[in-house]
Amino acid sequence: MIPDLVREARRAGLAVGTDRALAFGRAVEVLGPSGLYWAGRLTLCGGPDDIAVFDGLFRPSPVGARRHPVPIGSSRGRSFFGAASSASSSSGPAVRVAASDAEVLRGRDIAELSDVERAEALRLIGLLRPAVSVRRSRRWRSSSRGSVDPRRSARAVLRAGGEAARLSWRRRRSRPRRLVLLVDVSGSMSVYADALLRLAAVFVRLRPRWTHVFSLGTRLTVLRGPALDTSDIPDWKGGTRLATSLTAYLRRFGHRGQARGAVVVIFSDGWERGDPVPLGVAMAHLRRLAHRVIWVSPHAARPGFAPLAGGLVAALPHIDSLVAGHSVAAVSELARVIADA
Amino acid sequence: VFASPDELAAALDGAGYLPDPGIATAGFLALRLGKPVFLEGDAGVGKTAFASALALAAGLPLIRLQCYDGIDAAQALYEWDFPRQILHVRRCEATGEPVGDLYDRRFLIARPLLRALEEAPCVLLVDEVDRADDEFEAYLLELLSEAAITIPELGRIAAPAPFFAVLTSNRTREVHDALKRRCLYHWVDHPDPEREAAIIARHLPDVSVRLSVAVASAVARLRSLDLVKPPGVAEAIDWAAALSALGSDSPSRESLSAVLKVREDWAVAAAVLP
């Protein structure tokens, strides 16, 4: 019975290793068959998402099992390596572009490119190696200047047999600042969203632990893994409910700590179908949490651009910088803005 | 000591904590299997309170480590007492005694994790582990799976008796799976209104049953709204205490300051409260 349940749990997508399976067996031994549900739940699950999956194995739900928050966009269980096909296809059509052509391509609007040119533009974005924004950590590292490092200095004294030795110095270490990328994937944005997702993938590869990527559409979806495959986004090229999905982000992730002190980048044209007021409220909340809020609009570089889209007007007072994101050059400029934030 | 989860539940009840079946089973398995418990859930659902109640119920001392960003081995595990070592060397110079081993246990300052290990049996509470950075999680791995710490200069220190660890997280970030794998995992939900009313009555014996039931159902209603920070059990208790101090017998808008601490939430809540 136990191996069956473990096998079923694995099939349902839970990461059950031998150690977890073993713990499960021991728990069942202690609790007896009537404790099967709790024994399994306590040992085989590793997060609220897992609990929902596990409860699915127990139908009808046993007495005592309660409701659990089902995560928004529960597109869990994606393999980290599952998206290899999309990575290889990007290098598929071999395009030979002379250096001057690449320079021309850099400045052109991504929406106006042919498929082959667009693939090349995305490849160029994938080659960016941006710097990352840093913050000062509370941890120390030794240094030639700074303040006296009592621990190392004392060790030196001990090594010298109690004689006063040379002092050691220390400074605060710096750590990468958390980066949150929220990408609008509605129909009007999909061409540009591809480009920004490519940039997001670069940041994820550079700093996997410090980068969080979400798609905003009719709902909020967490994007994981190095390739950020768009096939994981259920509402890709769908409508936009910017305020709703941004509020969902704040409730579930942002306010709880992820956006605190982070650099938050929102990529959207700001077309909000409904009332723009909730978006303004959500943006103000985000601004209070984040270190920097950067809004990227694909249209910001157009001649005569004025932020007239309803959502953008509401968001504007709560933005630190408004950046264009329509071409390869603009995206690399955006990477620089993120690094300097 | 406890023969079943129900027996532990009764003991926790006696220690002033009203457990649901899930958390009682988690505590029972922790005591029986010697496995750490990893509790995750919203702020104010009683994760920390569970650890102190477990210690009280099992009759063990509680050792607490509060995590924060940048906490490192010197604050969590151990630190060498350099001033003492230097003074020892000086004294030996003056008296002519042999200096002996300077990396000896008596020159070691035990921080909470090492203390818990040495003072076992005890309950170790590692609070808000998600606030620490992920380097810190690595310090916990050996401690939680082997009940031992290796100090390079001294060797391995193992716990003389089993010790029971409770880790809590508010889920501000995902804790590494290597850590979770070593633990029993439990998601702590808000209690249902009946249990919450009982918890309020337990903490505030002077409050009328009517008021605690009214507060519990009002808090449940607030949690169903779209709030920035839904109130926890601690806020529900505060609210009941505030209402009782005001001499009121039902939740009112005026006393919201005990429950909601985000300005935007006030407007949302005021619309549904009398």
Summarised one tens digit per residue, pLDDT across range A135-182 is 887 778 888 888 888 888 888 888 887 777 788 888 888 888 899 999
Pairing verdict, β A263-267 and A179-184: parallel
Over residues B115-171, the pLDDT tens digits come to: 999 998 999 999 999 888 777 888 898 889 888 999 988 889 999 988 899 999 988
Tokens, residue B5: 């989860």
Alpha carbons A129 and A63: distance in angstroms, whole number: 54
Query: In a 10 Å sphere around its CB, with 0-12 CB exposed, 13-18 middle and 19+ buried, how is residue A44 labelled?
Result: buried
Q: How far apart are the first and last CA of chain B?
A: 49
User: CA A153 → CA A157, A168, B266, distances in Å?
Assistant: 6, 5, 54
Place of tokens 């709902």: A219
Answer yes or no: is pLDDT of A201 > 50. yes
Average pLDDT over residues B15-19: 90
Q: Which residues of B touch A138 (CB under 8 A)?
A: 68-70
Which pLDDT score is estimated for B104? 87
For residue B17, the 8-state DSSP code is -
C-beta of residue A258 within 8 angstroms of C-beta of residue A178: yes
| Interface contacts (A, B; CB < 8 Å) | 117
3-state secondary structure of A311: helix
Tokens, residue B150: 């290796």
Which residues 98-137 in chain B show a CB within 8 A of chain A? 102, 130, 133-134
Answer yes or no: is pLDDT of A220 > 90. no
Query: In a 10 Å sphere around its CB, with 0-12 CB exposed, 13-18 middle and 19+ buried, how is residue A40 labelled?
Result: buried
Q: Which residues of B touch A45 (CB under 8 A)?
A: 185, 187
Confidence of residue B271 (pLDDT cuts 50, 70, 90): confident
Amino acid identity, residue B85?
Q
Q: Which residues of B touch A30 (CB under 8 A)?
A: 28-29, 32-33
Q: For chain A, what percent of residues have pLDDT higher than 90?
A: 8
What residues does CATH 3.40.50.410 cover in chain A?
177-340
Q: Does B145 touch chain A (CB under 8 A)?
A: no
Q: Does B176 touch chain A (CB under 8 A)?
A: no
Average pLDDT over residues A288-301: 87
List Cβ neighbours of A266 (8 Å cut-off, separation of 6 or more).
Answer: A182, A184, A216, A246, A293, A294, A295, A296, A315
Which pLDDT score is estimated for B40? 92
Over residues A295-321, the pLDDT tens digits come to: 998 888 777 777 777 788 888 888 888
Average pLDDT over residues B28-53: 91
Over residues B77-110, the pLDDT tens digits come to: 998 888 888 888 888 888 988 888 888 888 999 9
Q: Does A212 touch chain B (CB under 8 A)?
A: no
Q: Which of B35, B78, B82, B86 is the best residue to mutate to test the A interface, defined by the most A CB atoms within 10 Å of its own CB?
A: B82
**Range name among A234-248, B59-73, B119-133, B143-157 with the lowest pLDDT average:** A234-248
Residue in A17, A139, A158 closest to B181 by CB: A17
C-beta of residue A337 within 8 angstroms of C-beta of residue A323: yes
Are B189 and A285 inside 8 Å of each other by CB? no
**Range name among A58-67, A137-146, A223-232, B106-115 with the lowest pLDDT average:** A58-67
Which residues 68-87 in chain B show a CB within 8 A of chain A? 68-70, 72, 74, 79-80, 82-83, 85-86
Which pLDDT score is estimated for B61? 94
Are B33 and A30 inside 8 Å of each other by CB? yes
Alpha carbons A340 and A89: distance in angstroms, whole number: 33
Q: Which of A28, A68, A158, A177 is the best residue to mutate to test the B interface, defined by the most B CB atoms within 10 Å of its own CB?
A: A158
Are B186 and A42 inside 8 Å of each other by CB? yes
Tokens, residue B200: 């309020």
Answer yes or no: is pLDDT of A74 > 60. no
Q: Which of B185, B194, B265 is the best residue to mutate to test the A interface, defined by the most A CB atoms within 10 Å of its own CB?
A: B185
Residue in A17, A42, A45 closest to B25 by CB: A42
Alpha carbons A336 and A132: distance in angstroms, whole number: 9
Alpha carbons B257 and B237: distance in angstroms, whole number: 13
Average pLDDT over residues B15-32: 91
Are B187 and A48 inside 8 Å of each other by CB? yes
Tokens, residue B82: 């350099």
User: CA A205 → CA A128, A129, A189, B218, distances in Å?
Assistant: 11, 10, 24, 47
Which pLDDT score is estimated for A100? 59
Please tell me the pTM assigned to this model: 0.72
Answer yes or no: is pLDDT of A112 > 70. yes
What are the DSSP calls for A37-79, one per residue? HHHHHHHH--SHHHHHHHHHHSSSPPTT----PPPTT------
Architecture in CATH of A177-340: 3-Layer(aba) Sandwich (3.40)
Least Cα distance to A245 among A286, A200, A296, A204 occurs for: A286
**Range name among A52-56, A330-334, B131-135 with the lowest pLDDT average:** B131-135
Average pLDDT over residues B39-48: 89
Over residues B168-224, the pLDDT tens digits come to: 998 877 788 889 999 999 999 899 999 999 999 988 898 888 999 999 999 999 998
Q: Which residues of B touch A25 (CB under 8 A)?
A: none
3-state secondary structure of B33: helix
Q: Does A128 touch chain B (CB under 8 A)?
A: no
Place of tokens 């859930």: B41
Alpha carbons A62 and B22: distance in angstroms, whole number: 12
Confidence of residue A206 (pLDDT cuts 50, 70, 90): confident
Average pLDDT over residues A326-338: 87
Q: Which of B6, B29, B50, B182 is the best residue to mutate to test the A interface, defined by the most A CB atoms within 10 Å of its own CB?
A: B29
Residue in B33, B74, B182 closest to A27 by CB: B33
Which pLDDT score is estimated for A71? 37
Q: Which residues of A touch B181 (CB under 8 A)?
A: 17, 19-20, 46
Greatest mean pLDDT among A38-42, A52-56, A86-90, A131-135:
A38-42
Alpha carbons A23 and B143: distance in angstroms, whole number: 18
Burial A318-332 (b: 16+ CB within 10 A, else e): bbeebbbbbbbbbbb
**Phi and psi of B137, rounded to 5°?**
-55, -30
Q: Does B172 touch chain A (CB under 8 A)?
A: yes
C-beta of residue B124 within 8 angstroms of C-beta of residue B149: no
Q: Does B40 touch chain A (CB under 8 A)?
A: yes
Place of tokens 């704040």: A250
Which pLDDT score is estimated for A69? 37
Q: For chain A, what percent of residues have pLDDT higher than 70?
A: 86
Average pLDDT over residues B242-251: 88
Question: What is the overall mean pLDDT for chain A?
Answer: 79
Alpha carbons B76 and B36: distance in angstroms, whole number: 17
Nearest CA in chain A to B135: A139
C-beta of residue B224 within 8 angstroms of C-beta of residue B192: no
More confident of the two residues A74 and B213:
B213
Are B40 and A48 inside 8 Å of each other by CB? yes
Answer yes or no: is pLDDT of A73 > 70. no
User: CA B56 → CA A1, B51, B88, B123, B124, distances in Å?
Assistant: 37, 9, 40, 9, 12
For residue B126, the 8-state DSSP code is E
More confident of the two residues A188 and B33:
B33
**Phi and psi of A212, rounded to 5°?**
-130, 130
* ipTM value: 0.70
Q: Which residues of A touch B184 (CB under 8 A)?
A: 23, 27, 42-43
Are B181 and A27 inside 8 Å of each other by CB? no
Which residues 190-229 in chain B show a CB within 8 A of chain A? 192, 226, 228-229
C-beta of residue B127 within 8 angstroms of C-beta of residue B87: no
Q: Which residues of A touch B130 (CB under 8 A)?
A: 257
Confidence of residue B56 (pLDDT cuts 50, 70, 90): very high
Listed in sequence order, the DSSP H helices in chain A are: 2-11, 18-31, 36-44, 48-57, 84-90, 99-107, 115-126, 150-159, 190-206, 242-249, 277-289, 310-315, 328-340
Which pLDDT score is estimated for A227? 67
**Phi and psi of A258, rounded to 5°?**
-65, -40
3-state secondary structure of B81: coil
Listed in sequence order, the DSSP H helices in A259-309 are: 277-289
